[in-house]
Amino acid sequence: MKLSSALLYAGNPREAADQVSALEKAGLDTIWVAEAYGYDSPTLMGYLAAKTESIEIGAAILNVYSRTPGALLQTAAGLDNVSGGRAIIGLGASGPQVIEGFHGLPYANPLGRTREVTGLIRRGLKREPLTSEKIFKLPLSKEDGAVTGMGKALKLLVHPERDSVPIYIAALGKKSVESAASYADGWLPFLYHPERAGQVWSASLAAGLAKRPEGMAPLEVVAGGMCAIGEGAETKALLDFARPLVALYVGGMGARGKNFYNDLFRDYGFEKEAEEIQSLYLDGKKKEAEAAVPLEFLEAMNLVGPESYVKERIAAYLESGVTNLQITPVDADAPALVARMKELIDA
């Protein structure tokens, strides 16, 4: 199991990026850079490449709408070059709030578009022409999510660092997860509950893995949560810091009946809590929505508590199929915590 973390920053991302080299020296394997509707991640990833030597640098995620397939190909090739072959490209459909509300683009055919864009990037890195029809050996229509404007079928001018950059897919819905498992190098789930993930996704993963091309490497799975090792009520209280994030996604990312994260919470078995969190959040009662997030979920998702308990959470993530444990260190000495977590994982 690898150990990773996300680049977190309150205002100036350079300050956070400057700390990544210390985490690298402590043993961190991968650093993830989100985008949403803040700073673009490729710029920050390029900055990280110059500040580090061996750590993997992953986009988590680039959406497949606001950049053309050709632009995503250029980004993959460019980042892999400046990092010396350390890039991971996380892709996903994001959601209507970002695609329509920030980029002004229609949110259509997310499964087909994500799959096709992945194929185009892979073709492009091998310096093959960017045509969609040959990717999956069938003609793709607009209904399938086909990308238009590729008629010239040009190929990349430069020779990439690697002709295959790992592509991970962010997916939550059962059909999306099945699709990702069939062709992606890795899967990026969110709000992951190790003990309940199987009841939500095991059938979808099995169906997708059964379609995986022969000889393709096993699917990598990246998931985790906040991390703090310590005894007493003060350490336990750190779980409350995770409440706003869960409440935001379960309660506020979408309308009633159109929220992927709320649906996931229900699939986990938290139907009553999902309804309450969403109702409170959409009514503007954010603090009450945060308080309604069940402690059971916070304890399961995060790795917070005595070392013996953190070991149990590592084992739970490993048993559920996670291959890259993503942590958010909550410690005055984050490198020391990363080093200790590496020791616990190796043990």
Segment 125-136 shows an average pLDDT of 75
- DSSP-assigned beta bridge partners for residue 2: 324
CB 302 within 8 A of CB 242: yes
What mean pLDDT, rounded, does the chain reach? Answer: 93
**Residue 132 pLDDT grade (very low, low, confident, very high; cuts 50, 70, 90):** low
> Is pLDDT above 60 for 142?
no
Given this model, what pLDDT does residue 260 score? 92
Residues 6 or more apart whose CB falls under 8 angstroms from that of 252 comprise: 278, 281, 282, 286, 289
DSSP-based three-state secondary structure for 145: coil
Residue closest to 89 by CA, chosen among 127, 63, 113: 63
Three state DSSP letters for 182-200 = HHCCEEECCCCCHHHHHHH
Given this model, what pLDDT does residue 146 score? 57
Q: Which helix (H) or strand (E) holds 167?
A: strand 167-170
Encoded amino acid at 347, one letter: A
Given this model, what pLDDT does residue 139 score? 46
Q: Kindly list the structural domains of the chain, giving each domain's residue range(s) and its CATH number in brackets, ordered by start.
A: 2-228+302-346 (3.20.20.30)
> Is pLDDT above 70 for 179?
yes
Residue closest to 190 by CA, chosen among 259, 135, 236: 259
CB contact burial 120-143 (16+ within 10 A = b; e otherwise): bbbbbbeebebebeebeeeebeee
Span 189-237, pLDDT tens digits: 999 999 999 999 999 999 999 999 999 999 999 999 999 999 988 999 9
CA end-to-end distance (rounded Å), the chain: 11
Given this model, what pLDDT does residue 138 score? 43
* CA dihedral over 73, 79, 84, 89, signed as positive or negative: negative
Span 29-87, pLDDT tens digits: 999 999 988 899 999 999 999 999 999 999 999 999 999 999 999 999 999 999 999 99
The total number of residues shown for the chain amounts to: 347
- Report the predicted TM-score, pTM, of the whole model to 2 decimal places: 0.94
Residue ranges with strand state E in 148-288: 167-170, 186-188, 220-229
- For residue 206, count other CB atoms closer than 10 A to its CB: 11
**Residue 299 pLDDT grade (very low, low, confident, very high; cuts 50, 70, 90):** very high
Span 96-129, pLDDT tens digits: 889 999 999 999 999 989 999 999 999 999 999 8
